A and B are shown apart, each in its own frame.
Chain A
Amino acid sequence: MTGSMRLPGGGRIDRSRPLKFTFNGKGYTGYEGDTLASALIANGVHLIARSMKYHRPRGLMTAGSDEPNGMVQLATGARTEPNIKATQIPLYDGLEASSVNVFPSVETDIGAVNGLLSPFMTAGFYYKTFMPSQLFWDKVAEPIIRKAAGFGKAPTEPDPDVYDHKHVHCDLMVVGAGPAGLSAARAAAATGARVILADEQAEFGGSLLTLHREIDGKPSAEWVGSVVSELSGHDEVTLLRRTTVTGLYDQNYLVALEQKIDDLTPSSPANPRMRVWHIRAKEVILATGSHERPLVFADNDRPGTMLASAALTYMNRYGALPCNKPVVVTNNDWAYETARTFKAHGAEVTVVDTRKTVPEDLGTEMAHLGIEVLADSTVTGVSGKHRVKGVSVAAKNADGSGIAGVSHSIDADGLIVSGGYSAAVHLFCHVGGKLSFDDARVSFMPATGRKALACVGGTAAEFGIAAAIDGGAAAGAKAAQAAGFKPGRAGKGVQVADDRADGNVEAAWLLPSGTAPNRSKAKFFVDYQNDTGAADIALAVREGFDSVEHMKRYTLTGFGTDQGKLGNINGLAILAELTGRTIQETGTTTFRPPYTPVTFGALAGRDAGDMLDPIRVTNIHDWHVAHGAEFENVGQWKRPWYYPIDGETMHQAVARECRAARTAVTALDASTLGKIDVTGKDAGVFLDRVYTNMMSTLKVGSVRYGLMLHEDGMVYDDGTVTRLAENRFLVTTTTGGAASVFQHLEDYLQTEWPDLDVYLTSVTEQWATVTVSGPKARMLLERITDMNLDPADFQFMTFREGKVAGLPARVFRISFTGELSYEISVVWHHGKALWEAVMDAGHDFGITPYGTETMHVLRAEKGFIIVGQETDGTLTPYDLGMGWIVSKKKEDFIGKRSLTRPDTVREDRKQLVGLLPEDPGFVVPEGAQLVNNSVKLKDVPHFAPPGLDGAPIYGRKASPVPMLGHVTSSYWSDALGRSFALGLVKGGQARTGDIVYAPLDDRTIAMRIVDPVFYDKEGARRDG
């Protein structure tokens, strides 16, 4: 049925601003202030969606975020979004929306054939079938199930929008701007406290936007207006509309999602589409209201079925009439307001009250209005496939367990249900709040008090407006006081006309109908979205899934996009009845963030593209870019990898750079190396404990290479230690390990050795470092410094302070290339000046800049390890042939005790070796595994695990093809004129000369084990 259901007047819509939109390709008109849901109802559209499993026709059940049915695919192209609830979409001009998971259309959906199979498709049916073979599941059943599952579609293009994050502190965070929240915020704001008030709706007021009441003689809308205007006048108050607090975390940390742009207005950094607020509040007040529950009866899902509160909202707030002939089914007084309002708009209304008796005043009033009330009655069925046509009603029997007599059908075009209200305690539970079930209010409510957290109004199952306002005011004043503000005068209580605080709810869940749900052709829905019915819960109990968590998982109750806001309480109440437990004993499942779904892009915020992770560059970076360097990511750093010129390949460039290092002079930007200043009178003692070798004996002005181990004795990091002064050392670390080494050292200082007088300062970004390396390095340096560079005076592994290129500098004689090298450090922002001076001075020596790849080749030729390449956290210094660096004299150092463990002293451990491919022109891929015999990868059989007899794995060979180790580094060497590699081989140090094999995908490479030092074994070149 379509046609205008817009009421002639009323509502909070702006009738002067009509908006055009389409739904399923058909054009409609609504007004500014509508949601997509209210605009559809005003246009008489009720069939909006199909359910997940049976593809049942479905309409709107609610007017808020608890909507289980009315999900649409919103917008098209790059801005399309699946599964958005029509009840939460503010209407805008040009809006396009369509039904999800329907084919070919929501009216005639082929998937509805599943309804015929529903006798087989009970809860968990998929666990019981589709498994004659894994192949059948893989090829037939799973693809069908996957295709059927899911609602909307993901976009196919990247998101053009911008999202943002914001971090704030406040004295008081008030969640929800209904009567309780507004009142709490007002009371606290009056004290001068810094208050944030957030509400998921575009307009503050909560239930007062729907309920027409007089508060202290003023219409409720006016009361809302005056409070909001008072709040707006406070500088310290932040009002966040369209902002949902999605999670409450420990220590009053809240996360909220603000929707800043609802339509297709392009976003920008200055105007993001959404913003995630991170709020740390001294005090929190939850005024999140309550959720109305439906009732469970036969075919309680026909389009046109709606909660009483939602129907009232559509009429009062949006001026849209949901139907002309409603049947209102209720177990409480509150739904009568909806009946009364329908009647006022000329609808023909019947009330089915499940309670034994209807309060006298209501009965009288209804009779006066001409509304028929059927007390002590129940619903036994609903007809109408695409829209409610009739409602079958019967009187309940004496004990209320079944029906008395026969049902009679009432013509209807709408079915309005109310099962009472449940406190919205979600946020309270996010931080572990405990609940108790209140039998009088028929709602869970917060049980345990939490520090600096209060629940008011509906959240505390206080359903009256006066109670909400007064309770909110008291809580607001108390919170402000707790946050250190002086409370103002206590306000007097408000007077609210027709305030029905007690709805006289009589608990009702599954209504009696004379037929058990599992024996009925009808469905008794509990979770609408997942098509979970009362029969499914009964089946779960029958099969032993009788804990609430098992029932949830087995039946999927609460798994939908509304996360059970609508159906969970009904589900667990039915479970309680079936298992003979109370609702309190049955308990709820765990409430988890987010309260409503949060867009991934908003969570990511600005952490996108280059801002995903900070890019760190050195002071010399621009020069590298200008000179055509290719870069490598090392941790967060961009490091020059190699500098191709004239279209060189990487191989050609690296060979040229290597040649320059061995024959002339080269420069490396070594600024990224981690640097830690270690100061204090116990600095030497401290370094003795963290390095394997002795550092406290180092002379001032000397440099020593060192290894750090983990407690397990395995190499962790390496670098140099320079004694700058008696109580001051400079420690260098690997580029990637800088932060973790610093933390590791701080950890030990603070937790293990707090008695040591040592202070650590990261100085990585205080010193830019240029390494000048090559036989002509001294000649170059002489041109830009007046330091004495005579190697007899300025010896290897010492350091000097002086001026280089006119800049104050620290010069270290350290070599990672094996050539004469000077590492020159200057203040960070002098880095580029130094680099350029070096380049100028070296011009006629043919100075060549080199990157990390050449650095790796040069050091490998010398057999120097790179931590993280030759090592992987499983190698001791001895495994690396570096026993010389482990002090025998020191009483202790980190990792020492592990070096004598039985496994650490095994002789067949993997050990570092040099490897020369028998084919000198072939560079073996790094990572290739090494084996004793020539095998082809394709011939390796599938792993056959040993069986019940406990026989050893492959006769103690460990693997189908036992592995000896692997190739850790492998390069072409210009200096050697051939390929070479470093690798790890079991017992390798004793196997020099042996041949091992690296099986690759297409061939197997024989390699000879050799000494890992390939170039200048005597170390003759380091002095130039």
Chain B
Amino acid sequence: MKRFSVFSLARNAFSHHEDWPRQWRSPEPKPEYDVVIIGGGGHGLATAFYLAKEHGITNVAVLEKGWIGGGNTGRNTTIVRSNYLFDESAHLYEKSLQLFEKLSQELNYNVMMSQRGVMNLAHNLHDVRESRRRVYANKLNGVDAEWLEPEEVKAFCPIIDISPDARYPVMGATLQKRAGVARHDAVAWGFARGADARGVDIIQNCEVTGLRIEKGRIVGVETTKGFIGAKKVGSVAAGHTSVICNMAGFRVPLTSHPLQALVSEPIKPVHPCVVMSNAVHVYVSQSDKGELVIGAGIDAYNSYAQRGSFHIIEGQMGALRELFPIFSRLRMMRSWGGIVDTAPDASAIISKTPVENFFINCGWGTGGFKATPGSGWVFAWTLAKGEPHPLNAAFSLDRFTSGALVDEHGAAGVAH
């Protein structure tokens, strides 16, 4: 891998940028791999990267039916944080945040991690109680967290309206200063480049159409580019995990919903952090390009179509204008939708399955982007060892039988 730096940019400027190599190759699939990963989103590519880097397993293929990073990796609002309530989630997301903090250097790819701070607003007494509970829990877990009173909220984000006369006044907020946003495409591309450089084959336009299972053990996958043998297979197919698992002959407790996001036209810097509000439902940050990046809740119905309902957007704009009255005259430039796969407890599934050597990583719901490196790191470990790492042991499939759920949405009501 040719290293990127200001010097390589300068050197290439003199050769008219004609010597840049592909950032990842476009190989034909080999007959067999040690590990085949289904799904070339951020999580799948991160898995391949850490398999190669941490475990020395480089005979790996990532199969992507479209173009890498084209699913939820390229459709989210890029928020990265780790201030989850329960131990299991806090540990996993904190691992991910710590990886994010060094990701640009680790990948030699600027993922533009911007630790601008994430505020989760409280708008009623219940919010306040649960927010403070989460702050205390975060602190005891060694995760940075603060509780802000309304005037401290205003000091941290001066454009927010904290008027007590508001329909749902701001009664305080939690703040995680180390949290922020990163450039989503760069995360996918950086992992792809890093994995490719270590020998991983990234194969785009290759859809998995079947799984070959012999005596309860997976031996390979049928694809639109033919059969590919595999000693182990990891499915990281987000909303389509249920389709893949169907091929494997078992069901997973996932439902898929449209989730929309939108951006404003690019404006000069005005919004210093990330603000999330559940009660007045909207979240918003400003990107490096100057666009306000805005999201909110899912569409209530199940769908695989990557578009949602217009009234959802109208609802979040009402909320946005309530919190930020100066945004009213700005304009929505583009909106889009993705499909989020959600488990009953709104937590991920990173697990062994009833099929030997077949593993799944899914159920990230509305909040998978922030987990990308952490998810890849623990899934790589799981694939390499055949067992979950302590960080993802709680996120196994058997919790839906045992009842050991990690029920974040019921508990804190925090948007993922």
Contact = CB atoms under 8 A, between A and B. Distances in A.
B185 A592 contact: no
A154 B270 contact: yes
B17 A903 contact: no
Given A150-B267, A874-B405, A999-B140, A945 B391 contact: yes
B318 interface: yes
Given A142-B112, A542-B22, A600-B321, A156 B16 contact: no
Contacts of B68: 550
Given A159-B329, A605-B314, A903-B404, 12 more contacts: A255-B310, A518-B17, A549-B74, A594-B335, A612-B167, A712-B405, A713-B403, A873-B410, A929-B137, A946-B390, A948-B54, A960-B140
B335 A903 contact: no
Contacts of B387: 950
B302 interface: no
Contacts of A946: 389-391
B265 A151 contact: yes
Given A159-B328, A519-B16, A712 B403 contact: yes
A153 B268 contact: yes
B67 A549 contact: yes
**Which residue, B16, B327, B387, has most C-beta atoms of chain A within 10 A?**
B16
A122 B139 CA distance: 44
A6 to B, nearest CB: 31
Interface stretch (B125-133, B210-218, B222-230, B351-359): B125-133
A601 B329 contact: yes
Contacts of A249: 307, 309-310
Given A120-B13, A926-B129, A945-B98, A129 B5 contact: yes
Interface of A: 52, 79-83, 101, 119-120, 122, 125-134, 137-138, 142, 145-147, 149-159, 161, 165, 247, 249, 253, 255, 276, 278, 430, 432, 516, 518-519, 535, 539, 542-545, 547, 549-550, 553-554, 559, 561, 563, 590, 592-594, 597-601, 603-605, 607-613, 615, 632-634, 712-714, 736, 868-869, 872-874, 898, 901-904, 925-929, 931, 935, 937, 940-946, 948, 950-953, 958-961, 963, 966, 999-1000
A128 B410 contact: no
B110 to A, nearest CB: 5
Contacts of B139: 937, 940, 999
A632 B320 contact: no
Contacts of B317: 600-601, 603-604
Interface in B39-88: 54, 66-68, 70, 74, 87
A276 B313 CA distance: 13
30 contacts: A126-B112, A129-B9, A130-B6, A131-B110, A142-B288, A149-B268, A149-B290, A150-B289, A154-B326, A249-B310, A430-B307, A542-B22, A554-B185, A593-B310, A594-B335, A598-B332, A601-B328, A603-B313, A612-B280, A902-B404, A904-B403, A927-B130, A943-B90, A943-B141, A946-B390, A950-B387, A950-B390, A953-B390, A953-B391, A966-B136
A542 B319 contact: no
The 10 A-B pairs with the shortest beta carbon distances in the complex, nearest first, are A873-B410, A150-B290, A927-B133, A901-B403, A159-B328, A943-B142, A607-B318, A158-B325, A927-B132, A597-B331
Contacts of B379: none
B333 A563 contact: yes
Given A128-B4, A927-B136, A929-B137, A158 B328 contact: yes
Contact of A127 (B4, B66, B115, B265): B4
Contacts of B391: 945-946, 953
Contacts of B336: 590, 592
Interface string B262-303: 001111111000000000100000001110000000000000
Nearest to A254: B310
B329 A929 contact: no
Contacts of A134: 101-102, 104-105, 113
A607 B13 CA distance: 53
Contact of A539 (B17, B95, B109): B17
Nearest to B332: A598
B330 interface: yes
B246 interface: no
Contacts of A80: 329
Contact of B329 (A81, A542, A553): A81
A276 B23 CA distance: 45
Contacts of A605: 314, 318
Contacts of B13: 119-120, 122
Contacts of A903: 399, 402-405
B136 to A, nearest CB: 4
Contacts of A52: 266
A598 B125 CA distance: 35
**Most chain A beta-carbon contacts within 10 A, residue among B68, B139, B140, B307:** B140
A933 to B, nearest CB: 12
A840 B181 CA distance: 60
Contacts of B25: 544
Contacts of A543: 20-23
Contact of B265 (A82, A122, A953): A82
Nearest to A711: B344
Contact of B319 (A131, A154, A612, A941): A612
A948 B51 CA distance: 11
A125 B136 CA distance: 42
A155 B326 contact: yes
A904 B403 CA distance: 6
A878 to B, nearest CB: 12
A599 B330 CA distance: 6
A873 B385 CA distance: 34
A79 B331 contact: no
B269 A131 contact: no
Contacts of A592: 307, 334-336
B113 A137 contact: yes
B17 A122 contact: yes
Interface in B114-128: 114-115, 123-126
A101 B268 CA distance: 8
Given A138-B115, A999-B140, A129 B110 contact: yes
A902 B289 CA distance: 51
A154 B267 contact: yes
B394 to A, nearest CB: 10
B328 A544 contact: no
B1 interface: no
A904 B307 CA distance: 39
B395 interface: no
